[in-house]
Amino acid sequence: MRAEFVQSAGWGNAGERLLAGDASFRKYYRLVRPRESAVVMDAPPPQEDVRPFVRIARHLIALGLSAPQILAEDAEHGFLLIEDFGDDTYARVLAAGGDEAELYGRATDVLVELYRAGEKSLLPGLGAYAGDALIEAAMLLPEWYLPEATGKPTPAEEAASYVAAWKECLAALPATAETLLLRDYHKDNLLWLPDRPGVKACGLLDFQDAQRGHPSYDLVSLIEDARRDVASDVHAACLQRYVTQAGIADAAGFRTGFALMSAQRHARIIGLFVRLLRRDGKPDYLPHLPRVWRMFERSLQHEALSPLRRWVDRLLPPPLRRIGAA
């Protein structure tokens, strides 16, 4: 079936090799022929649906950003032929000694562009990652991490008090315009394209789950990476860069939102990494837990998060935060 799609797209004479799969059912293949290449996304239905990727990719390109061009598509069978951005993911470039400040600064500029686009950044029908949706995602902490740390199920009343704490925290979130969230905006889904100008130097992938929500969320994903230490000066510079270049009028309010999105993301990931171990048999994420806990604890110091901080201190005192520590 894939061979038929490749043939119909006019690439039947190209060499093919498997690039990678990811946590989903998707697989990627690089097609190579003299002087050009392209990538096949094989995302078999019903488990996968390529249409959101196509829709968001074309939208991002229309906004002046670097998402892959869609060269051919067969949504019914789950195939796309997309522009090849190469192998220089941020993760690879950083590991090879790339300029951290430049890379993260350019990725921050992409988020500024989305903010500046205002309502134009949004598409009809996008789900909202806000309110109850944020709390539901953060339930992974009491549902998976707390039982792992204590050796016993989380009492229903403590799960309820966790929800209540989150509702109190989110009630303190200053009102702000929503923007497009790419959701997994981090080093593994960003490509360095240095021959392109400005924000186009940052190539975007894995955005098919995009939603709308607080503009700080993707910035948290970028500079508070669960699997990589970002230099403190780079973290501070990117946060200030966003506030300044986006023209945020209420800088303190934005930083409150940043702390809330930070706490939500890290609470979710702390639980997720334990779920990956216990449900999916994947222990490789546990060594990253101490880093995520450090970032979670830092975000909890913000006064807007005091209800959640009290819950965490009561149910998960420091000795219970050491899963994954060497």
User: Where along the chain do its domains lie?
Assistant: 2-83, 90-321
Which secondary structure element, helix H or strand E, spans residue 256, and what is its range? Answer: helix 251-278
**β-pairing verdict for 128-129 and 211-213:** parallel
Indicate the CATH number for domain 2-83.
Answer: 3.30.200.20
Q: Do domains 2-83 and 90-321 have the same CATH topology?
A: no
* E-only strand ranges, the chain: 15-21, 27-33, 36-42, 70-74, 79-83, 128-129, 179-181, 190-192, 202-204, 211-213
pLDDT digits (tens, 9 = 90+) for 149-178: 999 999 999 999 999 999 999 999 999 999
Q: What is the mean pLDDT of the chain?
A: 96
pLDDT digits (tens, 9 = 90+) for 64-108: 999 999 999 999 999 999 999 999 999 999 999 999 999 999 999
| Token pair listed for 319 | 């000795």
pTM: 0.95
**Helix, strand, or coil here: 129?**
strand
For domain 90-321, the CATH superfamily is: Aminoglycoside phosphotransferase (APH), C-terminal lobe (3.90.1200.10)
pLDDT digits (tens, 9 = 90+) for 114-131: 999 999 999 999 999 999
